[in-house]
Amino acid sequence: MNGPRRLLVGGLVAILAVLIVKALVDTVLIAPRFAVDVEIPLRAAERWQAGEPPYLASAFVSPPGATQPFLYPPFVLPFFAVLSGLPRALVSAVAVAVMLGASILAGRRLGIPWIWLPLVLAWPPFAESIFGANVQTLLFAAFVFLFYRVGTVAWKAPVRDVADPAESAALVGGLATVVGSIKISQPHAWLYVLRHRPRAAIGGALAMVGIVALTIPLTGIGPWFDWVAQLRLAADPTWDLGGFALPRFLPPWVGLAVAVACVVAIWFVPRERAGAWIGVLSVVGALSLHIFGLLFLVPAMLVIRREAALVAAICIATYSYEGAWAGILIVAAGLALVEFGGEWVASRGAEWAA
């Protein structure tokens, strides 16, 4: 890296660090956010145990915090019911610790050096997901382990080819199914595996069906209908806390068309950069999107030019809808340039390891 470029990158890192500190102080590290995303399902499980509806339509008019809507599928209720009997402080602390550990493992699997890992984990998509104990952290870790192997080169993880018959079908199918079954608005990884390893994807789906079947005698059928109704309410673009997916800003048919296009695009994703492309498609094509959903941009950010990745990270760290979509578009455009820009991009330092 030459002198002027090193100076530019250093300046961008400094700007990013300032914005990260501001976001942590003003938005992320505030007491009501601590483990809030584990408190929500714990309260739902308590209602369920008491014979009350776990899914409350009234939650959509609640202020930010633990009274927000419960959106996980019903098969998780028995699990959270067990946890609800434990001391809340212990469950919250362990949940945050697990999210931190999962984030570290995912970061290291992607080749992020230890010295840079604190800054990366303090970036809002990571920090909010960790501090709030959001399950998106675990899903992102599963995504990373699905598409990448352990490597030795900084900033560059070797890609796992899920189509390789030598790869464990149980591992590939299981990880893909986990990502798509908890957050049903992100089926992209599972669909990619279905495209290249149909038996693995179907096997994972059947295993999940088995889990659902085992829990139905406990939960009953009713909560499943309530869950679908809850998801319908969550998809309402007028819900103030509904996130910043495209349908919030565009006519519903346009947002749906983009989502369908992102699903169709999975069939044409290059296998050598599958993780990066699937991550971008799952963000752009999401029907529900919050800041921690932008974790799935990270693999692509490690492929595109370093300066572009830092500018995208800065935009996202502003904690604004405009900044989030500016960051998304920068990453998507940078990845497209890497894919179609040919030798110029490769020769001018597209890889972080340069």
Instruction: Look at residue 7 and tell me if it is in a domain.
Output: no
- Single out the residue of 5, 292, 300 nearest to residue 155, CA to CA: 300
Q: State pLDDT tens for residues 27-79.
A: 999 988 999 999 999 999 999 999 999 999 999 988 888 999 999 999 999 99
Instruction: Look at residue 12 and tell me if it is in a domain.
Output: no
| DSSP states along 177-195 | HHHHHHSTT--HHHHHHHH
Q: Domain count for the chain, please give it.
A: 1
Pairs from 19-27 (Cβ < 8 Å, separation ≥ 24): 19/314, 19/317, 19/318, 20/119, 20/122, 20/123, 20/124, 20/127, 20/317, 23/124, 23/127, 23/317, 23/319, 24/122, 24/127, 27/124, 27/128, 27/319
Per-residue confidence band for 346, with pLDDT thresholds at 50, 70 and 90: very low
Mean pLDDT of 296-304: 96
Instruction: Look at residue 125 and tell me if it is in a domain.
Output: yes
Residue 112 DSSP SS3: coil
The pLDDT of residue 330 is 97
Q: State pLDDT tens for residues 106-124.
A: 999 999 999 999 999 999 9
Q: Which helix (H) or strand (E) holds 271?
A: none
Pairs from 33-37 (Cβ < 8 Å, separation ≥ 24): 33/128, 33/131, 33/132, 34/92, 34/96, 34/131, 34/132, 35/91, 35/92, 35/93, 35/95, 35/96, 35/131, 35/132, 35/133, 36/65, 36/66, 36/68, 36/132, 36/133, 37/132, 37/133, 37/134, 37/135
Percent of the chain with pLDDT over 90: 78
Separation CA 211–CA 182 (nearest Å) = 13
Examine the pLDDT at 250 and tell me if it is beyond 90: no
- Single out the residue of 239, 226, 323, 243 nearest to residue 288, CA to CA: 243
Instruction: Compute the half-sphere exposure of residue 128: CA atoms within 13 Å on the CB side of its CA.
Output: 17
Task: Find the DSSP H helices in the chain.
Answer: 3-23, 36-49, 77-83, 88-109, 117-122, 124-131, 136-147, 169-182, 188-196, 198-219, 222-234, 252-265, 274-284, 298-301, 306-317, 321-340, 343-347
Mean pLDDT of 257-265: 93
Q: State pLDDT tens for residues 14-31.
A: 999 999 999 999 999 998
Note down the domain range covering 119: 29-347
Cβ within 8 Å of residue 145, ≥6 positions away: 105, 106, 109, 175
Q: Of the given ranges (23-27, 177-181, 207-211, 249-253), which has the lowest mean pLDDT?
A: 249-253
Instruction: Look at residue 5 and tell me if it is in a domain.
Output: no
pTM of the model: 0.93
Are 292 and 136 contacting, i.e. CB atoms less than 8 angstroms apart? yes
- Chain centroid, CA 37 distance in Å: 14
The pLDDT of residue 353 is 41
Instruction: Look at residue 123 and tell me if it is in a domain.
Output: yes
Separation CA 280–CA 300 (nearest Å) = 7
How far is it between the farthest Cα atoms of the chain?
Answer: 66
Instruction: Compute the half-sphere exposure of residue 325: CA atoms within 13 Å on the CB side of its CA.
Output: 12
Instruction: Look at residue 11 and tell me if it is in a domain.
Output: no
The pLDDT of residue 206 is 96
Instruction: Look at residue 239 and tell me if it is in a domain.
Output: yes
Instruction: Look at residue 16 and tell me if it is in a domain.
Output: no
The pLDDT of residue 268 is 93
